[in-house]
Structure 1
Amino acid sequence: MIEIERKFLVKSNTYRLKAFQETRISQGFLNTHPERTVRIRIMGYGAFITIKGKSSSDGLQRYEWEKEIDVTDAEDLLKLCEPGIIEKQRYLVKHGKHIFEIDEFSGENDGLVVAEVELNHLSEEIEPPAWLGEEVTGQTKYYNSQLIKNPYRNWK
């Protein structure tokens, strides 16, 4: 399946007041090759393995395949991952006709807050909420697979 997604920084935490779901996420990467990534994620009480292909030149779309796996298997696979585990709290916020996923990172990426919104087609418009900041779609340093290699705390 081709995923179409835009990514933004977040300029205030007022999205928390409108969140209809909050979930803790831990994830690691079995592979962070530029052509493909293989992610293991524990999200709340579920777990997933996800394979993502290389992003398009504008960063808007890429192939994504995901399958739910047993949490115990995910815990075992996290031990095999490349160094660095991403820890974050995810908030889901409905705004207009879209659902925004806002990730508040912790650990070595503490202080980074990013919002993503999935689109049905490339020309689809979004209604930006007031808390949405600068668009960073396609900036690879914001990819989770890169945050394990160069955490946000090292950017300053």
Structure 2
Amino acid sequence: MIEIERKFLVNSLAYKAEAFKETQIIQGFLNTHKERTVRVRLKGDVGFITVKGTSSSNGLSRFEWEKEISKPDAESLLQLCEDGVISKVRYEVNVGNHIYEIDEFSGANSGLVIAEVELNSETESFTKPEWLGAEVTGDIKYYNSQLSNHPFCNW
């Protein structure tokens, strides 16, 4: 239940031509406390509730628990979320032995594009595609829970 991931800005739209999947995501937060977040997500027609813990000091890993829920349950829970519901399109791209998830935000976070790659260990090597920009792993302003409270348009 420990998630290990690296986050990067994206410097071109080239990932779109490489994507094998594209999914609309709407998500909100029932709780954005820095020690724990509780997220409700509607990913296409499937709902999820996720609890995340505090990040490690280097920002690479943290506790994550996720459970699939019905679309109607997710829609109901989204109505209870804090202000700042996030909307984005997620593109999935195979690069080497990994799948990058590239989130193209809309609404108050329009213009922000972040790529994430999940790893099996903090020291695992991975291929960096040409469209990958600066690393922002551990920079909390890029956490979705923070983007809901302090959107990109206000930076």
TM-score by length of 2: 0.99
Aligned to 1:147: 147
AA in 2 matched with 1:51? V
Deviations 1:53-85 (A, max 9, x none): 000011000000000001101111011101111
Q: Following the alignment from structure 2 to structure 1, what is the Cα–Cα distance between the partners of residues 28 and 45? A: 16
Count of paired positions: 155
Deviations 1:70-119 (A, max 9, x none): 11011110111011110000000000111000000000000000000000
Aligned to 2:54: 54
Q: Following the alignment from structure 1 to structure 2, what is the Cα–Cα distance between the partners of residues 87 and 57? A: 28
1:1-156 matched pairs, under 5 angstroms = 1-155=1-155
Q: What stretches of structure 2 of length at least 5 have no aligned partner?
A: none
RMSD value, Cα = 0.4
AA in 2 matched with 1:28? G
Q: Following the alignment from structure 2 to structure 1, what is the Cα–Cα distance between the partners of residues 73 and 88? A: 20
Q: What stretches of structure 1 of length at least 5 have no aligned partner?
A: none
Q: Following the alignment from structure 1 to structure 2, what is the Cα–Cα distance between the partners of residues 46 and 77? A: 13
Q: Following the alignment from structure 1 to structure 2, what is the Cα–Cα distance between the partners of residues 132 and 138? A: 17
AA in 2 matched with 1:47? G
The secondary structure found in structure 1 opposite 2:108 is helix
Q: Following the alignment from structure 1 to structure 2, what is the Cα–Cα distance between the partners of residues 153 and 66? A: 29
Shift of 1:126: 1.2
AA in 1 matched with 2:133? G
Question: What stretches of structure 1 move > 3 A for 4+ residues in a row?
Answer: none
Q: Following the alignment from structure 2 to structure 1, what is the Cα–Cα distance between the partners of residues 47 and 70? A: 6
Shift of 1:147: 0.3
